[in-house]
Structure 1
Amino acid sequence: MQKPELYATDPSGLVWQKSSLTANNGDCFELAPLPDGGVALRDSKNPDRPHLCFTAGEWAAFKGGIFKGDFDNL
């Protein structure tokens, strides 16, 4: 799926999930699966603001970077 197609998905129809490890202060993000394995990401404090969309490949690369420690210095 191409990027414009990801953003064509209506975010109000997505099933948004928040991590069970989230603190009660509400400072976190929510994820929702998209068609073809993509992922949408939004700010849980401002769910009506614009969200970000990632293709399945982009999301896999991001998760791989997390597991490899690519972001440990940030």
Structure 2
Amino acid sequence: MSQYFNGMQADLIQATGSWQKARVSQGAGACVEMRKLNDGQVAVRNSRFPDGPALVFTALEVEALLSGVKGGEFDHMAI
């Protein structure tokens, strides 16, 4: 069982890699950041609240999301 859970403080999540955000969002101040965890899951946080809660997803859940994003399934949500 994973030591990570949804809603835990993002600053408590320790992993080999660092938090990463999209290059196009650099400097904008309102970014979604992702971090691959040592157990293969992925944590997601809001860069405006780096110590705030994080959501934790399985690799398959992230793969499904990214596939949908790349396929344009969420384009209607863009500003």
Band the TM-score falls in, shorter-chain normalisation: 0.7 to 0.9
Q: Which residue of 2 aligns with 1:33?
A: 36
Superposed CA RMSD in Å reads 2.0
Q: Which runs of 5+ in 1 are unaligned?
A: none
Q: Which runs of 5+ in 2 are unaligned?
A: none
- Partners in 1 of 2:65 and 2:28 — Cα distance? 26
TM-score w.r.t. the length of structure 2 is 0.72
Normalized per residue, which structure has more helix?
1
Structure ranking higher on relative contact order (CA contacts 8 Å, 6+ apart) = 2
TM-score w.r.t. the length of structure 1 is 0.76
Structure 1 residue ranges (4+ consecutive) displaced by more than 6 angstroms after TM superposition = none
Q: How many residues align?
A: 69
Q: Is the 8 A contact 1:36 1:56 kept in 2?
A: no
Q: Percent identity?
A: 38
Instruction: Please give the per-residue CA displacement for 1:16-36, whole angstroms capped at 9, x wherever unaligned.
Output: 122221142311121100134
